Structure 1
Amino acid sequence: MMYPINGYNDIQTVISNERKIGGVIEAEQIQLRSGEVYDCPVFTSVDVVGANIYSIGFISKDGVRMIVHVNDISMIKSATHKKIHELNNAGYKEYKVKEKLKYLKRLCKADQGACTCPFVEEAMLIIEDIGTDVLKVEKDLDLKFLSKGNKVVKIA
């Protein structure tokens, strides 16, 4: 996937619509005004008042969680929208995969085999986001709805 990000508004849009579009924003580097440089940061939050963005939250490759005022950021290098399985930040990738798997299991349990269109769409988005190799390890997930022979019914 890997789409380039053009500004803070793009970062905010991806974070706020994560459930609908999947993926996260990862940059190659972020440098603060103080000179500190963090590799492979993944942006986790954008704080907004009205139309003004005033702080950005991120997790670095080393697992450092930071919330930084936008005036303290001097450079964000190569920010891109990536699927979770494409991340270079291994710590955040592991955390996010666990979170998405937990959500997928709850989603499957709530659906109880009804296999409606909204369920299939959301489940497929999660699977595309975390990658299919993760599902091979999970034994307690019943994903029979992915087979091509099943008929999906749309309710109302």
Structure 2
Amino acid sequence: MRYQINGYTDMYTVLANERKIGGAIEAGMIRLRSGEEFANVVLTRLELSGSQFCSIGFVTAEGKRLIVHVNDVSMISDANHVNVCELKNELMREEKTAERLKRLKRLCELNEGCVTLPFREEALLLVEDIGFETARQHVDLSFLPQVEKARVFRIA
């Protein structure tokens, strides 16, 4: 988990900068005014009209895509900005992982033979987002610095 979301402004910031910061917003539960409850939803859109938030889009654990007016949302609980590999919503984890892998493959293809700092930083962000093991299965990551596991020493 990266951090907890505290309101619509945080949600909007994460969604608007998703490519730069990675991850996704997952809420433990959303309850609508009608009484419907959805668990492990991934927020995909937050629309503004002028300076007012007007609608929110999300995908349920069953894969149902909903767009509701913010006034129809009764409660959003346990909303967090998490890495894609940590999503509990399996459908969105698979979808977003495929999306990130496609971008990582294309990025590596375009920068083949030329490892620059911006390329390395963006690739590292994508790899951390989808998980090192998953990325390594699809792309050669020899250009990334290998992080050695910290050794544990027992004293006395």
Distance in 1 (alpha carbons) for counterparts of 2:71 and 2:145: 50
Deviation string 1:45-92 (CA, Å, 9 cap, x unpaired) is 111122111000000111110001000000001101101111100000
The answer on 1:2 being equivalent to 2:7 is no
Q: Which runs of 5+ in 1 are unaligned?
A: 149-156
Deviation at 1:135, TM superposition (A): 2.2
Give the whole-Å Cα distance in 1 for the aligned partners of 2:103 and 2:126: 9
The residue aligned with 1:84 is 84
With normalisation by structure 2, the TM-score equals 0.90
Gaps of 5+ in 2: 147-156
Shift of 1:2: 3.4
Instruction: Give 2:94's aligned residue.
Output: 94
Cα displacement (A) at 1:144: 1.8
Specify the alignment match of 1:143 in structure 2.
141
Match of 1:151 in 2: none
Matches within 5 A, 1:4-153: 4-138=4-138, 141-147=139-145
What whole-Å deviation, never above 9, does each CA across 1:77-112 have from its counterpart, x for those lacking one? 110110111110000000000010000000011112
In the alignment, the residues of structure 1 paired with residue 77 and residue 142 of structure 2 have an alpha-carbon distance, to the nearest angstrom, of 42
Aligned partners of 1:92 and 1:26: how far apart in 2? Answer: 10
Identity %: 51
Per the alignment, in what secondary structure is the counterpart of residue 118 of structure 1? helix
Letter in 2 for 1:83: N
Distance 1:77 1:48 in 2: 21
**TM-align CA RMSD:** 1.1
- Note the C-alpha offset of 1:137: 2.7
- Counterparts of 1:129 and 1:88, CA distance in 2: 14
